[in-house]
Amino acid sequence: MGRADDILDNISSRKIAGESFALATVVRTVAATAAKAGAKAVILPDGTISQGWIGGGCARAAVLKAARDCLADGKSRLVSVQPEEALEGQGHKPGEEQGGVRFAKNMCPSQGTMDIFVEPVLPRPQVVVCGSSPVAVAIADLARRSGFAITVCAPAAEQAAFADADRRIEGFALPVDEAASRYVVVSTQGRGDEAALLAALAVDVEYVAFVGSRKKAAALKAALAEHGVAAERLARLKAPAGLDLGAITPDEIAISILAEIVAVRRGKQARDAAER
């Protein structure tokens, strides 16, 4: 099997495993360069090049930085590695970004130019719906069409309410660890509220919300505290769920909740990128 096939297998196996990584591809070379157009490398979140090759030290530092950045904010980068004279002639400086291109200086004797496209490959974020209420069904449908993977948690007799799901869990036992970010919505309509909330608050997720009134949420929080749920865990619970859009129908409530999930998700990406 050729090297290209090996890299494709590496990419495929990591996608199936739900791992995050960046894929760097040389898209253009000018003059003498060690790597040629089409060369690829798989870069892990810790900066390790798992497989492939895109040249020596001339491009490595700039590409690894771009890989870290794109994994933080989910956005692709184009890195242009050029000799210092070429950068100056175009009015650019190393480290500068313009028009979606990040410029870097080529320190290698070859003094060629390489353009490398660096893209994040991330597991699909999950919306986990606990319960089978009309709001839960509407959230699952809307979230799927918005690019989220859907996990349905509900008793076996209620699973038929959902036409499609990427994963189904009978009951509310959520896996402790997941590679993808998770956004949990409890919409049980009184059928297992405490059990679903206990499960949701026992694991680390980006967002957990309860569909119900403030009065009901307050009563449930008090009951959960008696069950020993820590105050900091209870403070993470968003109740009522969703942005205040004045929503009334199940579809409108689902829109308000998904809008809140998107705001939480994109806000976290922006914070992660700012910290780098």
Tokens of 259: 């809008």
The whole-number pLDDT of residue 93 equals 86
* Proportion of the chain above pLDDT 90, given as a percent: 58
Q: Is the pLDDT of residue 2 over 50?
A: no
Query: Can you give the pLDDT at residue 32?
Result: 64
Q: Could you read off the pLDDT of 78-110 as tens digits, one per residue? A: 999 888 888 888 888 888 888 889 988 877 766
C-beta neighbour count of 13 within 10 angstroms: 10
In angstroms, rounded to a whole number, what is the distance separating the alpha carbons of residues 24 and 205?
A: 29
Q: Tell me the percentage of the chain whose pLDDT exceeds 70.
A: 92
Between 203 and 55, residue with greater pLDDT: 203
DSSP string, 194-238: HHHHHHHHTS--SEEEE-S-HHHHHHHHHHHHHTT--HHHHTTEE
Domains of the chain and any CATH numbers: 3-121 (no CATH), 126-274 (3.40.50.720)
pLDDT mean across residues, the chain = 88
**pLDDT interval class at 4 (50, 70, 90):** low
> Max Cα separation, the chain?
71
- pLDDT (0 to 100) of residue 95: 81
The string of pLDDT tens digits covering residues 98-152 is: 888 998 887 776 677 889 999 999 888 999 999 999 999 999 999 999 999 999 9
Higher pLDDT, residue 215 or 37: 215
| Chain segment 220-266, per-residue pLDDT in tens | 999 999 989 999 999 999 999 999 999 999 999 999 999 999 999 98
Q: Is the pLDDT of residue 33 over 70?
A: no
Type and span of the H or E element at 128: strand 126-130
Question: How many Cβ atoms sit within 10 Å of the Cβ of residue 266?
Answer: 12
- Report the alpha-carbon distance of residue 102 to residue 92 in Å, rounded: 10
For range 183-202, the mean pLDDT: 93
How far is Cα 233 from Cα 131, in angstroms, rounded to an integer? 21
- Phi/psi at 4 (nearest 5 deg)? -60, -40
Please compute the mean of the pLDDT values over residues 193-213 and round it to a whole number.
Answer: 94
C-alpha 71/C-alpha 242 separation (Å) is 27
Instruction: Please answer whether residues 201 and 229 qualify as being in contact, where contact means their C-beta atoms are separated by less than 8 angstroms.
Output: yes
Q: Map residue 81 onto helix, strand or coil.
A: strand
d(CA 53, CA 70): 19
**E strand or H helix at 271:** helix 250-274
159 Cβ neighbours under 8 A, 6+ residues apart: 132, 152, 168, 170
Q: At what angle do helices 134-145 and 250-274 cross, to 10 degrees?
A: 50
**Using the 8-state DSSP alphabet, how is residue 239 labeled?**
S
Cβ atoms of 162 and 140 within 8 Å: the answer is: yes
For residue 255, the SS3 value is: helix
